Each structure stands twice: as structure tokens, then as C-alpha cells.
């Protein structure tokens, strides 16, 4: 767990309450910022800040409506990040993937 001072405000990834600028927070890239009191809590969904297509079913997920995932790799000293958005409603995502009856 990395402890930082927040440079800007935003929602806590665990409780959703606002994080204030200058507040000490715990931060992990894949999870996002959390209050120090929320550091041990399981994070809720990390929300997407932009509209994007679901990585599984291709449905257009509106801003703030999906789950955001990030993976980071390092090859020969060069880091690369891949951000993926998923539908927050897994049942609807699976239904869109199911073949339609003819």
C-alpha cells in the first residue's frame, strides 16, 4: 500500500465519499485512491471516467456506468498500460453474448 498526499479531489474507491485535496490517501493503480481508513476495505467498482465499449460484449458503456480494469507490463524498460472497461451488469453482458434464437 502506497501512502500519498492527494493532489486533487475525487471519490474514494472503497466508500465513494469525497477525497479532499491535501488529504493523506492510500493509492494503487489498479484500485484507485482510498481514504487511509478505507485502505483495508474491499474496493467497490472503479468507475470509468469516459464512455467506452465493453471489452467482453462490445456494448457502449456510458461514463461512470462500468467497471474499469488496468494492466501494466514492462518490456525492456518500457512500461505500457492497457485500460479495459466492462459492463457493471454481468447478467446483461452475458445475455448480449448469447446467440439469439431464430
93 falls within a domain: yes
11 falls within a domain: yes
Residues 65, 33, single domain; the answer is no
Work out how many domains the chain is built from and give that number: 2
- What pLDDT does residue 44 have? 65
Ranges 8-12, 78-82, 97-101, most confident: 78-82
Residue among 92, 31, 82, 30 at smallest CA distance from 60: 92
pLDDT digit string, tens, across residues 59-91: 998 887 777 888 888 888 888 888 889 887 788
Angle at 41 between CA 29 and CA 80, to 5 degrees: 10
Residues 93, 59, single domain; the answer is yes
Indicate if the pLDDT at residue 55 is higher than 80: yes
102 falls within a domain: no
- Find the domain containing 31 and state its range: 2-38
Indicate if the pLDDT at residue 46 is higher than 80: no
pTM of the predicted structure, to 2 decimals: 0.53
Amino acid at each position: 500500500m502506497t501512502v500519498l498526499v492527494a493532489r486533487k479531489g475525487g471519490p474514494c474507491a472503497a466508500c465513494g465519499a469525497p477525497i479532499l485535496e491535501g488529504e493523506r490517501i492510500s493509492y494503487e493503480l489498479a484500485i484507485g485512491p482510498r481514504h487511509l481508513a478505507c485502505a483495508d476495505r474491499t474496493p467497490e467498482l472503479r468507475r470509468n471516467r469516459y464512455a467506452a465499449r465493453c471489452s467482453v460484449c462490445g456494448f457502449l458503456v456510458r461514463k461512470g456506468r462500468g467497471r474499469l480494469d488496468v494492466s501494466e507490463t514492462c518490456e525492456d524498460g518500457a512500461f505500457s498500460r492497457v485500460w479495459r472497461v466492462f459492463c457493471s451488469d454481468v447478467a446483461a453482458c452475458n445475455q448480449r453474448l448469447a446467440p439469439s434464437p431464430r
